[in-house]
Amino acid sequence: MKKILLIICFFISISLTNNNIFCNDEHSWGQILNDNSLMQTITTSNPNATKETKCILNYLYSLSKKTNKKIISGQMTYNGIDESVAYDSLIVKLHDKTNKWVGIVGADYERDYPQKLYKILETNKPLISHFRQGGLVALMWSANNPWTGGNQNDLRNSENLLDLITNGTTANQKWIAYLDSIAVGLKQLQDSGVVVLWRPLHEMNGTWFWWGSKSTTLPDRNDYISVWRHMYNYFTYFKGLNNILWVYSATAKSKKVSNPAFKDELNNYPGDEYVDIISVDIYSDTLDVVNYNQLKSKGKPLVISEFGPDRNTVLNKIQSFDYMSLINQIKSKYPDFVYWVSWNDFVTNGGKDTVYYSPMNQINGKQLLEDGWVINRDEIGWQDSCNIDVEKNALLEPEDGKVYHGVQTMTFADNPDPLAGYLNALNDSTIQPAVRGFFFSVPGERGPANTLKGLNNFFHIADSVGFIPELSLFFVDNRSATDSIIAVSNTHDWILDSIITLCKNYNRKMFLRIGGEFNGSGPGWNGGGYHPYYYVTMFRKIVNMFASKGFRDSIAVNWCYEPDAPNDFDSVDTRGARWYPGDDYVDWFGLDVFDASHFDQSLPNGTGRNLTKKGKSERFLAMAREKGKPVFLSETSAKGINISSDNQDGINDWNNWFAKFFEFIDVHKEIKGFCYIDANWPVGAYPNWGDARIENNTYVTEKYIEEMRKPKYINLYKEVIVQPEDTLPLTEMGETKWKSYEGGLYPNGENARPDAHNSAGIDFANSIVPLDNTGVPNDKGKIVLLSIGMSNCTQEFSAFKMIADTFQMKNPKLQIVDGAQGGQTASIIKDPLANFWTVVEQRLQQQNVTANQVQVVWLKEANAQPNQAFPVHAQMLKSDLKIIVQVLKNKFPNLKIAYLSSRTYGGYATSTLNPEPYAYESGFSVKWLIEEQISGDDSLRYSGESPKAPWLSWGPYLWAKGEKERNDGLFWLREDFGTDGTHPSTSGRLKVAKLLLDFFVNDETSKPWFLGSDVRVNDSNKQDNIISIYPNPASDYIELKLSESFELSENNSIKIYNTLGQCVLSVGANSNELKRIDVSNMPISIYFVIVGSETKKIVIVK
């Protein structure tokens, strides 16, 4: 179940009765904002889990349905010693004995580790290595007793587990310190790409651990559940650990157990939404899980997290247990277990005895790991379960059998938009090219090469659309190759430095082709052709320059050959490398093929001097295979075909070129990408090349689309991550900059308004009073809050109006009017004569108010299909917004305050209407506009005679990076948007509506007029602990305590209100009395709690 934040805000009320707030059974709170679209069942308990985490869980789910290769082997390492030594002593030795690497390696963040963080990090080292080699990682935590500092078996002082999550207790302070240290280790694993099977607080249904000693009977088991959920919430939402699969692990109940204190496995189960995997621990020669069917009924993957033969069997008796009995019993009785982890051998009884649990020291350990049901490390296939692309030896290399679909940008005078025809011909957003190429010549131009400005725009488009760039650098000046100049001088280094800077600003992985078709010589080939040895020196120099700038790990370097070129090549001759820069400098081999003679599999290869063009291609591919390099067909185009609209011509073209080309890719598994050039080749420069555009012929287009829909091809929206890796919310940028620009909502990176500006806003807020239709103050008049903006604005504000109009604490004098309209972008409405303003006037009239009564505006605007590089498009929007606020002041003479918001997340967009990073960067437009007013721009003056604009401030800041949760809990799911990924769905509209309501209720420049004079709201951060509430975050309940200094009237009580202002709960309040309030059944929404005239804010995680 996805986690939803239930925000409970506590308000202060001077006079509740004046606002007609009731508390009786007539008010139904279960219908308000209980939109099912906000909740959705998903695979992982953590909705923000990484793709790899979700894939591994999907893989585990799939194993129980298989008939072979369905249970993963695992081995726990030794406890209490150096983990690397433990790994070598057990995992490596087990491999040496069985010739098998176990699939799962287990370890324990145990005992004094929280006090010795270095041990946690040491534990991680072999786990990271094991995962990178294809294995899985299982981690447990035998936590110290936080009351005494003793080990996990110390049962002292553990009577009340709630101490651990009760703020201010000594146990709580120690527990949080433990969690913080553990989180460091888990975060290191997350940063290393490792998914963790996390098994905390295990075997809780027994009595031997401090967390289980008192938690097996009601009500104490509920305390255990609260502690589990607290840890889950702390790691998931506070620490941002998205690489964890939560394993609930109990000791298996068997017929042999007679101890009445030993409870059923699910006695302490914290709930499906907090658990991914259900596990049992078994130490018995005979598998006996009496509640197996009950465990299966939870619908989670079942595993054995600890297995060992009966201790009496293995104590000091080597080879006394037949490990084949384990797999045979699983086959016959418990076939749904999907992995097991054998416990480690260890010394006990003061070193006198050794317990041998592992298969290494028992009978048939080798046969166990060779069994047909058993999956070992080299057989784990979780990547295949979700079609994930996994980088192998080369940067950006996909898994075997996958091929990047790409297109090259070739600009000719008669074709200024060379990709439009190709992209439109595909007519399917799921098969758009994942790679696009760009040509840049150093220092001059070679045909379609572009300037630095053009490269900057290209990267900006890549950032927006989401494709992977391939930058091709050519080295020509006045038709002469410049590789020899670049190799030995710094003449052109400034250009290379500028290119590298632009690549770093783009800050995502990309392909880099240096001196493509290196073997060309003579007219038309790279200024007459590159020079052996100089070319290699230049190639290495450029790669080293990228490395010196800290960007080598983000470029996949391509060394590219063309079989038509007259220069032959050898990677090494008697004088060393003539053309090949070396394995450390080359990630991919590149091959450019145009004529069918380059790849037609029916043609001979030839030998020696009679090597054919196809033979040259094959020789180059053989070299790539020998060196283990993937191959990218960087330039491909149907040369000489001259595609026309004739149907038979299209059939012939497909059979004679395209079918053979795709066969070439099928035959050569080392080919993992291609870029097609969809061009009408100019006759003068490329005689006899003809028209290679697929859109010319319906048959060719249909066959091409059919080919691209095959699952082998990596297309844009299916398998390429589209969102930028470095976009941070403006509110969380700190000292980080976005493309050299400062973040924060206000000047100097701050998120709070400057004091002087804030004071001016408060003064305006306090001056807002009801006005009659002529603008004269009148107690019977209205205060109009008006929205101005485009389609997203009207959709979101209409949801807010629905909630706010029924919100009984709203100022009754406040009239909310939605003036925003679909399709009305900033560039349109900045015109004061635009029809937009006529419609606004009509909407005011429909609600019996006038322009003279408008005193507050919420403005949210954008421009459609921006395509300029940052910051140009953001500056253009800022200029439009500046004109708009001036128009607002002119049309609404009593307008005092305008709150502005930028776009929500645009990373799910399927069109160019306003995708990322344009949506993100629109935040800078708002920021810069407000900063201009704060800095004293006279054209934005809000005071004095004839003010030119209203006082400006941020409203709610709406952008968050998709599913990545912001520090304040905001995130955007795909289902928060409609089919176009741009406009909000019902859940998205409600999310913005709640943010607006929370803002207007709590901001000190809006409370005076939004809530009216009868209700005031204090900043909870300025309270003097008059009210104490814990746990925080909470899940099922809150506990509230009032200090003795709190003055209670006779009728005081604790009241909780929903967003309609309806009372959903009322309980008595007494000073210095702890009040426990159950909130587990409240629907997802915003709630307000009022206790007399005091307040407190908390967050509840449901």
Over residues 189-220, the pLDDT tens digits come to: 888 889 999 999 998 888 888 888 665 554 46
Instruction: Please give the average per-residue pLDDT across 782-807, as a whole number.
Output: 93
Same domain assignment for residues 418 and 301: no
Q: Domain for residue 684, yes or no?
A: yes
3-class SS of residue 821: coil
pLDDT category at 1099 given cuts 50, 70, 90 is very low
Same domain assignment for residues 425 and 359: no
pLDDT category at 451 given cuts 50, 70, 90 is low
User: Which token pair is 75?
Assistant: 């081995």
Same domain assignment for residues 488 and 564: yes
pLDDT of residue 573: 39
User: Residue 245: which residues within 8 A CB-CB, separation 6 or more?
Assistant: 44, 53, 56, 57, 195, 196, 197, 198, 276, 277
3-class SS of residue 510: strand
pLDDT of residue 568: 58
| 67-104 residues labelled b (16+ CB within 10 A) or e (exposed) | eebbbbbbbbbbbeeebeebbebbbeebbeebebbbbb
pLDDT category at 1027 given cuts 50, 70, 90 is low
pLDDT of residue 319: 67
**Res. 1048: pLDDT tops 70:** no
pLDDT category at 346 given cuts 50, 70, 90 is confident
Same domain assignment for residues 199 and 246: yes
Q: Domain for residue 17, yes or no?
A: no
The sign of the dihedral angle between the CA atoms of 396, 402, 403, 404 is negative
Same domain assignment for residues 814 and 893: yes
**Res. 409: pLDDT tops 50:** yes
Instruction: Please give the average per-residue pLDDT across 738-766, as a whole number.
Output: 93
- At CA 174, angle to CA 170 and CA 180, rounded to 5? 145
Report, as residue numbers or ranges, the catalytic residues: 203, 306
Q: Domain for residue 838, yes or no?
A: yes
**What is the spatial distance between Cα 1096 and Cα 1040, in angstroms, rounded to a whole number?**
10
Torsion, Cα 666 667 672 674, to 10 degrees, reads -70
Same domain assignment for residues 181 and 82: yes
pLDDT category at 958 given cuts 50, 70, 90 is very high
Q: Domain for residue 802, yes or no?
A: yes
120-159 pLDDT, tens digit per residue, is 877 888 888 888 888 999 999 988 888 888 888 888 876 7
Q: How many domains does the chain have?
A: 4
Q: How far is CA 888 from the centre of its chain?
A: 38
Q: Domain for residue 703, yes or no?
A: yes
**What is the spatial distance between Cα 857 and Cα 897, in angstroms, rounded to a whole number?**
6
What's this model's pTM, rounded to 2 decimal places?
0.40
Same domain assignment for residues 884 and 837: yes
Tell the burial category of 725 from Cβ atoms under 10 Å away from its Cβ (0-12, 13-18, 19+): exposed
pLDDT category at 1093 given cuts 50, 70, 90 is low
Same domain assignment for residues 540 and 418: yes
Q: How far is CA 376 from the centre of its chain?
A: 30
The sign of the dihedral angle between the CA atoms of 21, 22, 27, 30 is positive
pLDDT of residue 318: 62
Instruction: Please give the average per-residue pLDDT across 100-112, as a whole number.
Output: 84
| Domain that residue 532 falls in | 403-714
pLDDT category at 1089 given cuts 50, 70, 90 is low
Q: Domain for residue 397, yes or no?
A: no
**Res. 39: pLDDT tops 50:** no
Q: What percent of the chain has pLDDT over 70?
A: 80
User: Which token pair is 244?
Assistant: 């964890």
Q: Domain for residue 745, yes or no?
A: yes
**Res. 806: pLDDT tops 60:** yes
**Res. 84: pLDDT tops 60:** no
Same domain assignment for residues 415 and 343: no
pLDDT of residue 1083: 64
3-state percent breakdown (helix, strand, coil) of the chain, nearest 5 = 35, 20, 45
User: Residue 904: which residues within 8 A CB-CB, separation 6 or more?
Assistant: 792, 919, 958, 959, 960, 972, 976, 984, 988, 992
pLDDT of residue 943: 94
pLDDT category at 986 given cuts 50, 70, 90 is confident
624-663 pLDDT, tens digit per residue, is 898 889 999 999 999 999 999 999 999 999 999 999 999 9
Asked which of 682, 714, 746 is the last residue of a domain, the reply is 714
Same domain assignment for residues 407 and 382: no
Q: Domain for residue 682, yes or no?
A: yes
CATH of the domain at 88: 3.20.20.80
Pairwise pLDDT comparison (495 vs 11), residue with the higher score: 495
Instruction: Please give the average per-residue pLDDT across 1023-1047, as a whole number.
Output: 61
**What is the spatial distance between Cα 770 and Cα 1009, in angstroms, rounded to a whole number?**
9
Largest CA distance in the chain: 106
Asked which of 975, 1010, 1045 is the last residue of a domain, the reply is 1010
pLDDT, mean over the chain: 82
pLDDT of residue 413: 41
pLDDT category at 512 given cuts 50, 70, 90 is very high
Torsion, Cα 930 931 932 936, to 10 degrees, reads 110
List strands edge to edge, sheet with 854-860: 814-818, 783-789, 854-860, 897-901, 951-954
What's the Cα-to-Cα distance from 1036 to each of 5, 270, 1032, 1100, rounded to whole Å?
12, 11, 11, 8
Instruction: Please give the average per-residue pLDDT across 399-421, as a whole number.
Output: 73
Instruction: Please give the average per-residue pLDDT across 1048-1072, as a whole number.
Output: 66
Beta bridge partners of 139: 107, 198
67-83 pLDDT, tens digit per residue, is 899 999 999 986 544 55
Report the 10 Å Cβ neighbour count for 543: 21
Same domain assignment for residues 928 and 990: yes
**Res. 1021: pLDDT tops 60:** no
pLDDT of residue 352: 67
Q: Please give the single-letter amino acid code of residue 296.
A: K
**Res. 1058: pLDDT tops 90:** no
Asked which of 714, 745, 772 is the last residue of a domain, the reply is 714
pLDDT category at 730 given cuts 50, 70, 90 is very high
Same domain assignment for residues 355 and 430: no
**What is the spatial distance between Cα 340 and Cα 326, in angstroms, rounded to a whole number?**
10
pLDDT category at 673 given cuts 50, 70, 90 is very high
Counts for the chain of helices (H) and strands (E), in that order: 28, 41
Instruction: Please give the average per-residue pLDDT across 559-575, as a whole number.
Output: 64
